[in-house]
Amino acid sequence: MTNWTSLPKCFHRAMLLSFTLLVCGCQPPSAPNALQNVIDKEVLKVGTIYGRTTFYHGNTGPQGFEYELADGFADYLGVELQVYPYYSYHALMQGLQQGRIDIAAAGDTITALQANSYQAGPVYQQVSHKLVFQQGRERPRSPADLNEPLVVVKGSSNAQLLAALNEQYPALNWRTTENQDIWELTADVAEGRLAYTLVDSNTLALQRRQYPQLSIGFSVDTLGNVAWLLNQNQDASLRAAVVEYFGYLHEAGLFPAMEDKYFGHVRHFNYVDTRAFITASKMVLPQFADLFKQFAGEQDWRLLAAISYQESHWQPDATSYTGVRGLMMLTQDTASDLNIASRLKPESSIRGGAKYLDSLIKRIPNRIKHPDRIWMALAAYNIGMGHLEDARVLTELQGGNPDLWVEVKRRLPLLEQKKFYKTTRFGFARGTEAKAYVENIRRYYDTLVYLDEKTGLLEASVAETP
């Protein structure tokens, strides 16, 4: 496929318009079509719902999976993106119907009613909807077992699923709310303030990193399709451009990389590990938090702390059978190279680990962008830069992109198979372990960011430490 981003905008737009006319099977209309309107105004207006997986303002600016998809589409069209975040699904869909936005990108599943009332873009994810309750309470295995009210967000696919379920279970006790979002509802369930809610599998995977006590009662459906929605009363030209854009993302390997960034590391859930990590974050981390902040340099101190937990569970005297020691589990050779006299002193170990991580990041090729270069540096922290390069070579030989972590991590386990490692420069490596190592750190880091920025738990625990 043509590399759209390398083409002049005028040529790019002309190709898009030609493509959409071909897809629509029509001649150029006398009045501008939907795509032409966007291009003429040089603005793409995308509506969404506030949330961690959709859109929010982070420390580095706008963030969220839906935001990144929309921003990429605006770049693809060569226009400016304007994001319109809504507080309710009803207002979002009303904005789409009335033409105030071009696309609704809420990260929610498309219901039968919506499929008949709007143009739907291509399906880019599938999620299931789960009833969740607080661990320790009696597990409901069907809607008939619910003995307290079930609360969901008004206008969401959860509400529409319950309306349909209510026909089968007339006694079902449920209600909707516009005053809370799904993140608040799941937090209320986890902390015992609410008995039940419905949540999609993407949101649940993220929330369980902060609330491992969220337990699944049953699934309300199998898999629902997630797609953007467009106004039904306009021609299909803008939708055709959306189809072409998602096709480009998949063909270029960009969509899997973006999806992995937000969801790839959280879909595997371990209750015991998550619970233990949150407890250690409150009880043990405050002893070392200032040191992580002091030596983190250009990196996020919470990332450095997450590495340390993966390495030693924040135990200063930790020692492995391979001879690595301390909070950051440095080898004797690495410690000597970094002029670290004692690997068991917390200050020395953290300083050495930070310097070593920084050196690895700098050795990753400059063309590899954040956050992929961070994840690759972490893999090198575990198995060495040589083995990481072997995995990248294998990735390229197999037709993958060696500059994308989502592609490289698939090849790391191949370093354990003779038919592959006998062709590499550095031979056998524990690639499966390295893959899990990076994904664990990413999960720990996510949890620390949440505890530090959203709940204040980390600051509170520091204050309480004698």
Structure confidence at residue 59 (pLDDT): 61
Residues 320 and 448 in one domain: yes
How many other C-beta atoms lie within 10 A of the C-beta of residue 390?
26
pTM of the model: 0.71
Please check whether residues 186 and 248 belong to one and the same domain.
no
Tokens standing for 252? Answer: 């270029």
> Beta strand pairing status for 43-49 and 80-86?
parallel
Mean pLDDT for the stretch of residues 286-304: 95
CATH number at residue 375: 1.10.530.10
Same domain, 325 and 384: yes
Strand partners, 47: 84, 104
Tell which wins on pLDDT, 11 or 295.
Answer: 295
- pLDDT (average), residues 331-342: 88
The per-residue pLDDT for 62 is: 87
Catalytic residue among 244, 311, 407, 439: 311
> What CATH number has the domain bearing residue 117?
3.40.190.10
Using one digit for the tens of pLDDT, what is the confidence trace for 190-207?
Answer: 999 999 999 999 999 888
pLDDT digits (tens, 9 = 90+) for 151-180: 999 999 999 999 989 988 999 999 999 999
Q: Is 347 a catalytic residue?
A: no
Contact 310, 444 (CB under 8 A): yes
pLDDT at 429 over 50: yes
Q: What is the reported pLDDT for 238?
A: 96
Question: pLDDT tens digits for 217-274?
Answer: 999 987 899 999 999 999 999 999 999 999 999 998 889 888 888 887 767 777 778 8
The span from the CA of 166 to the CA of 152, in Å, is 14
Position 434 scores a pLDDT of 93
Assess whether pLDDT exceeds 80 at residue 29.
no
Percent of the chain with pLDDT over 90: 67
Q: What is the pLDDT of residue 80?
A: 96
For the segment 57-66, what is each residue's pLDDT rounded down to a tens digit? 766 678 889 9
Range of the structural domain that residue 279 is part of: 271-464
Same domain, 32 and 148: no
Omega cis (within 30) before 170: no
- Give the residue from 236, 264, 292 where a domain finishes: 264
Task: State which of 221, 248, 281 marks the end of a domain.
Answer: 221
Find tokens 């998949």 and name the residue: 250
Torsion of CA 384, 386, 390, 391, to 10 degrees: 20
361 and 385 part of one domain: yes
Residue 322 has pLDDT above 80, yes or no: no
How high is the pLDDT of residue 122? 96
Is the pLDDT at 16 greater than 50, yes or no?
yes
pLDDT at 381: 94
Please indicate, yes or no, whether residues 158 and 96 belong to a single structural domain of this protein: no
What mean pLDDT, rounded, does the chain reach? 88
pLDDT at 27: 46
pLDDT of 450 reads 85
Same domain, 344 and 443: yes
Q: Are residues 437 and 316 part of one domain?
A: yes
User: Both tokens of residue 76?
Assistant: 């693809």
Segment 44-101, tens digit of pLDDT: 999 999 888 898 876 667 888 999 999 999 999 999 999 999 989 999 999 999 999 9
| Cα angle for residues 258, 264, 269 (degrees, 5° grid) | 155
Whether residues 111 and 138 share a domain: the answer is: no
With a cut of 90, say whether residue 25 has pLDDT above it: no
**Are 357 and 411 in a shared domain?**
yes
Q: Which of 206, 240, 264 is the last residue of a domain?
A: 264
- Could you tell me if 259 and 276 lie in one domain? no
- Residue 21: its pLDDT value, please? 52
Q: pLDDT digits over 219-228, tens only?
A: 998 789 999 9
The answer to whether residues 34 and 88 belong to one domain is: yes
pLDDT for 340 equals 87
pLDDT of residue 460: 44
pLDDT of 273 reads 86
Structural domain count, the chain: 3
3-state secondary structure string, the chain? CCCHHHCCHHHHHHHHHHHHHHHHCCCCCCCCCHHHHHHHHCEEEEEEEEECCCEEEECCEEECHHHHHHHHHHHHHCCEEEEEEECCHHHHHHHHHCCCCCEECCCCECCHHHHHHCEECCCCEEECEEEEEEECECCCCCHHHCCCCEEEECCCHHHHHHHHHHHHCCCCCEEEECCCCHHHHHHHHHCCCCCEEEEEHHHHHHHCCCCCCEEEEEECCCCEEECCEECCCCCCHHHHHHHHHHHHHHHCCHHHHHHHHHHHCCCCCCHHHHHHHHHHHHHCHHHCHHHHHHHCCCCCHHHHHHHHHHHHCCCCCCECCCCCECCCCECHHHHHHCCCCCCCCHHHHHHHHHHHHHHHHHHCCCCCCCCHHHHHHHHHHHHCHHHHHHHHHHHHHCCCCCCCHHHHHHHHHHHHCHHHHCCCCCCCCCHHHHHHHHHHHHHHHHHHHHHHHHHCHHHHHHHHCC
